[in-house]
Amino acid sequence: MTSRTNPNQSPNLAASTATTASASSDQFDATNIGLINLQPTSRQKLSALVAVAILLFAMASVAPYAPKMLPRFAAFIPFINAAISVTDLITATLLFAHFSISRSPALLVLAGSYLFTALIVIPHALTFPGAFSPTGLLGAGPQTTAWLYTFWHLGFPAGLLLYVWLKDGDHAFQGSLRSAIGWCTTISVGLVVGLTCLAIIGDPLLPRQFQNVLELTSFGFYATYFDLFVAVVALVFLWTRRRSVLDLWLTVVAFALISELALASFRFSLGFYSSRIFSFVTSTVVLVMLLAETADLYKRLALANTLLRRERDNKLMNMAAVVASISHEVKQPLAAIVMRASTGLRFLGHMPPDVVKARSALNKIVNDGHRASEIFDNIRDLFRASDQGRVNIDVNEIVSKTLQTMQRELAEHRITTRTDFVPEPPCVTGHRGQLQEVLLNLIFNAIEAMEGKDGDRVLSLKTERGEDDGVIIKVMDTGPGIDPKNSDSIFDAFVTTKPRGIGLGLAICRMIVERHGGQLLASSMRAGGAQFDIILPSDAPANTSGAGTTA
């Protein structure tokens, strides 16, 4: 019996309980904090739908008048492109950040697409005829800007398609994040530079999209329709394979892109102005939504972090309390052993040696040694998967049985008991022995608390129906009660003194109850006296069943 004791057991158990509890209560894990995996809520779906509806409505009201020519506003393109560049750059940065968290290649591609857009709008504005110079800067030809527009509106939906293609077969990117982002940036910049060169140098060779500064050729329309086609394909794929909040908003973006291309008409027509404004407004809305989602994620992460930290602190406190309680129990016989052994040595040092006394000291040392060992046995038994395991428990029955075993002590201390049982208590499952231990401890505490009391000594035990079909067992005494300033700390600091050989502290009681998925609360009653509530859930959650197997 003694050889099998394992002093490490209880602390380990305490740790494992806390861990399993945290796993169940914690709804956050690494896979569902990323933007790419977050399911949209119904509120988010609704706002996306509203955005699309507004867009549709605006498009429908503009469409009939799209070809109508409006005054030529030369600064419009530099202005709107600068705005697009800034918002898309921010979006790209945000997506790169999310990529760093989730390591999803799809997000990297998406970030690259936004970066591509943010960059290509720059040569587009610079080469736009009449914006900075009558024929555009950078040595642009008459077709350069149109081609850049085509590349821009081809590149972005192509990026979206690539994103959709990558996102579902999503495997985490393994290599260095820094170099991945570096390469993505390089490719985007390279593409923009290359396409710009192509559009400038190839200007005389490429098919003409504009017959003059304002009017599109039929090829120009075809090019736009081709972009439109790619955008529609992107929209369809995004829509059919949408999963996350991000997918939802990208669908809105694709929709805005289609609106823009569909309205595309001669330069400085109503369609020209409005399509770009719609497009810009939508991309801004999406950016704001992304920022809001990111802020929300951050908030939830911070909260999860706080919860985790608190749980860890609790766990440590719990462990500290359990270790303190065990070490108190074990230190007493150890101290006695050291005392007796050194006293025995004194007896042997006498002239003549007092062998009789020394022998008696040695005998007592043997007993104390066994006692120390038994403490560990008791602790182990307490947490071992008992033979009966978890069973259905009638709380009324367990309370009255426990009271019966305490009859003698209660009578000795002139304590009257009162019981108030709820008829047909909800069934709870648990370890009968462990719950009985908790009750025994609380009753012993009550007896001890009422020891110095002159008036009525009453121990009341009450069972009640708790929330959600749970059960509450109340243990109330008429002792001095709990000092309010101690009511928080009694579970950590206070250690009851061996009611039955082993001093099950309140810390251990609380651990047992928590292991049953419940709570142990202490309070003082208004009329005086302490009240302990054992709150047990109707059906103990699955995580508590692991408790026994660790032992």
Partner 1 sequence: MASKSVIHVVEDDEAMRESLVELLEDGGYAVRTYAKAEEFLAQSAAIEPGCIVSDVRMPGMDGLALLRRLRAGGSTMPLMLITGHGDISMAVAAMKAGAVDFLEKPFEADALLAALSAALRHHSSDDKADDAELSRRRLHMLTSREHEVLEQLVAGKSNKEIAAQLGISPRTVEFHRAHVMEKMAAKGLPELVRIWLSADPSAR
Q: Which is nearer to partner 1, 23 or 345 (CB)?
A: 345
- Bridge partners of 390, per DSSP, are 431
d(C-alpha 208, C-alpha 198), whole Å: 14
Chain centroid offset of residue 174 CA: 23
Q: How many CB atoms lie within 10 A of CB 414?
A: 10
Other Cβ atoms less than 10 A from the Cβ of 323: the count is: 15
**Could you tell me the CA-to-CA distances from 2 to 7, 196, 378, 436 in Å, in that order?**
11, 84, 11, 25
Residue 198 to residue 190: CA distance in whole angstroms:
12
Collapsed DSSP state (helix, strand, coil) of residue 378: helix
Is 134 or 452 the residue whose CB approaches partner 1 more closely? 452
CB of 52 to partner 1, least distance (A): 58
Nearer to partner 1, 367 or 489 (CB): 367
Please, what is the minimum distance in Å from the beta carbon of residue 125 to partner 1? 57
- The values of phi and psi at residue 530, to 5°, are -100, 150
Q: Which is nearer to partner 1, 127 or 496 (CB)?
A: 496
For residues 333 and 369, the answer to whether their CB atoms sit within 8 Å is yes
Q: Is 379 exposed, middle or buried (0-12, 13-18, 19+ CB in 10 A)?
A: buried
Whether 91 and 290 have beta carbons less than 8 Å apart is answered as yes
Q: Is 455 helix (H, G, I), strand (E, B) or coil?
A: coil
Closest CB to partner 1 among residues 369, 548 = 369
CB of 249 to partner 1, least distance (A): 49
Instruction: Give the nearest distance from C-beta 117 to partner 1 in angstroms.
Output: 52
Measured between alpha carbons, how far is 471 from 426 in angstroms, rounded to an integer? 7
Measure the CA–CA gap between 387 and 5, rounded to whole angstroms: 19
Element (H, E) at 458: strand 458-465
The tokens of 360 are what?
A: 């008696």
Q: Which is nearer to partner 1, 316 or 338 (CB)?
A: 338
Q: Scanning the structure block, which residue is given the tokens 């799809």?
A: 106
State in angstroms the smallest separation of the CB of 441 from partner 1: 13
Instruction: Write out the residues near partner 1 by the rule CB under 8 A.
Output: 324, 327-328, 331-340, 342-343, 345-347, 357, 361, 364, 367-368, 371, 448, 451-452, 495-497
**What is the b/e burial string over 482-499, where b = at least 16 CB atoms within 10 angstroms of the residue's CB?**
beeeeeeebbbebbbeeb
Rounded Cα distance between 413 and 502, Å, is: 21
CA angle 198, 203, 208 (to 5 degrees): 125
Is residue 435 within 8 A of residue 396, CB to CB? The reply is no
Pick 337 or 476: Cβ nearer partner 1? 337
Q: Which is nearer to partner 1, 88 or 329 (CB)?
A: 329
- 133 contacts: CB under 8 Å, gap ≥ 6: none
Residue closer to partner 1, measured from CB, 295 or 345 = 345
Query: How many other C-beta atoms lie within 10 A of the C-beta of residue 360?
Result: 14
Rounded-to-integer distance, Cα 124 and Cα 136, Å: 9
Specify whether the CB–CB gap between 431 and 392 falls below 8 A: no
Indicate the residue among 15 and 323 with the shorter CB distance to partner 1. 323
CB 329 within 8 A of CB 375: yes
Q: Which is nearer to partner 1, 204 or 452 (CB)?
A: 452
Q: Which is nearer to partner 1, 355 or 427 (CB)?
A: 355
Choice between 332 and 524, CB closer to partner 1: 332
Distance CA 150, CA 207 (A): 12
CB of 324 to partner 1, least distance (A): 7
Distance between CA atoms of 470 and 472, rounded to whole angstroms? Answer: 7
Distance of closest approach, residue 343 Cβ to partner 1, in angstroms: 4
